[in-house]
Amino acid sequence: MTFNVDNSALMQVKIDYVSYMTQIFKVMAYDEIITSILYALMVEGGKYLTQEDLEFLTGFSRSSISEALSKVTLITQDFPIIHTRKPGDKKKYYYCPISFEEYVKRSFLVTADVSKQSIEFLPKLITRLDTISPQTPSIFNVKRIFMYLYAAISYYELIMKKSNEFLGEMFDDPDYEPNFSTLIDNTQIYLPKRGTIPSNDTLVQIKREFITRMISMSTELLGGNEELIAVFLALMLENDPVTQDELIKLTGSSRSNVSRALSMMVDLKILDTIKKPQDRKKYYKSKTSFEDYGLGKLKRVQGYYAQIQMIMQKKFLPDLEKINPLSEADKEEKKRLIDFFQDNIRFFNIFINFSNAMHSTVQKELLIFVDKNLS
């Protein structure tokens, strides 16, 4: 192997770190083997590692590592890994050509990026809502949700396009506070009227199309369960409590799938079950507003980053402090790892601050946009 494993305690800290980061990013829908390889390279400080080294640090099999390496060595990858050889050595060695700072920055941008989500269908749906007569409170509610989502994704996309500039300032200056208001104030969001209106259009048809389009964008929300997501979205589109039969009609799902989804949502405590006087039917209402739904991913990512900071402070740094170096090389390696974990804490704190600033600004601007366009 290409690294010194004489001090097993230091090596165990590295293995624990790679395992932990793999687990937490897997929850964020990252490929666990690729993530494990990348963090193995990062924790080793950019050294050249063989496939055998990567197997040792990650715990994955040779075939799994080999397959993952064939993907991440492609030049099109967001997180590229380069392979090379050493003079007189036929082995392949792998290294990450970007710094740890750059890697975690890219990781955040990929996780938070909304620009890959196609929302061009929303203006068309809003136009269709405007043609339905009479304009009822139910239509008004759905239109508000569509406008909110369209503006939210547009604002977040706008900020993310400039995020490298903001993050660069934050990495350079710990006291720098990003100001997104000026960026948003200088940008107009329009609701263009596009396409033809289907004949005999109905609110139910529009809701169904919205749910179908959103499912492909929302599989992370509840573990990739399409029926669960469909019911979740259908409930949020409703002003009033609805029955299981109404949800079946709206989602197009089977009775058994809707029933199973409702049971799961009750267990998750994101749903109220309501009984009406002299009515044997059960009615359901979401506890989650569409505003909360739209921010769900951002809040989850912030929670994961806060947990990373906590684990660095409560586990990895204390574990390192307890280790007695066996040599001068061990002493240097221990210091390097302490600096590395402190960088973890600092970097992920920057992303939390960035997310909080972005969220506060976008929420304020969304209220202005929606009120203006609904008036």
Q: How far apart are CA 214 and CA 125, in angstroms?
A: 13
pTM of the model: 0.76
pLDDT tens string 125-134: 998 998 888 8
How would DSSP label each residue in 121-190? HHHHHHHHHHHSSS--HHHHHHHHHHHHHHHHHHHHHHHHHTHHHHHHHHHH-TT-----HHHHHT----
Give the pLDDT confidence score for residue 196 in this predicted structure.
66
Residues 6+ apart with CB under 8 A from 335: none
Mean pLDDT of 246-273: 89
Give the pLDDT confidence score for residue 221 in this predicted structure.
42
pLDDT of residue 275 exceeding 90, the answer is: no
For 1-98, CATH number out of 1.10.10.10, 1.10.760.10, 3.40.50.2300, 1.20.1440.130 equals 1.10.10.10
pLDDT of residue 1 exceeding 80, the answer is: no
Exposed e or buried b per residue across 248-270, where buried means at least 16 C-beta atoms within 10 angstroms of its C-beta? bebbebeeebbbbbbebbeeeeb
Domain locations in the chain?
1-98, 100-375
pLDDT tens string 11-44: 999 999 999 999 998 887 788 999 999 999 999 9
Give the pLDDT confidence score for residue 315 in this predicted structure.
95
Sheet holding 271-275, edge to edge: 242-243, 282-286, 271-275
With beta carbons less than 8 A apart as the criterion, state whether 235 and 286 touch: yes
- State the amino acid at position 24 in one-letter form: I
Q: pLDDT confidence of 223, banded at 50, 70, 90? A: very low
pLDDT tens string 177-191: 888 888 888 777 776
Mean pLDDT of 95-116: 76
CA distances to 78, 139, 151 from 354, rounded to whole Å, are 21, 35, 19
pLDDT of residue 83 exceeding 70, the answer is: yes
pLDDT of residue 162 exceeding 50, the answer is: yes
pLDDT of residue 195 exceeding 90, the answer is: no
Q: pLDDT confidence of 373, banded at 50, 70, 90? A: confident
pLDDT tens string 280-312: 889 999 887 766 665 666 777 888 899 999 999
Residues 6+ apart with CB under 8 A from 269: 287
Q: How far apart are CA 309 and CA 302, in angstroms?
A: 11
Residues 6+ apart with CB under 8 A from 300: 28
pLDDT tens string 137-152: 899 999 999 988 888 8
- DSSP character at residue 49: B
Give the pLDDT confidence score for residue 6 in this predicted structure.
54
Nearest-5° Cα angle at 193, 190 to 194:
120
Mean pLDDT of 62-80: 80
Give the pLDDT confidence score for residue 347 in this predicted structure.
92
Q: Which residue has the higher pLDDT, 46 or 293?
A: 46
Give the pLDDT confidence score for residue 135 in this predicted structure.
87
Q: Which residue has the higher pLDDT, 80 or 138?
A: 138
**Mean pLDDT lowest among 17-21, 189-193, 219-223, 326-330:** 219-223
Give the pLDDT confidence score for residue 220 in this predicted structure.
47
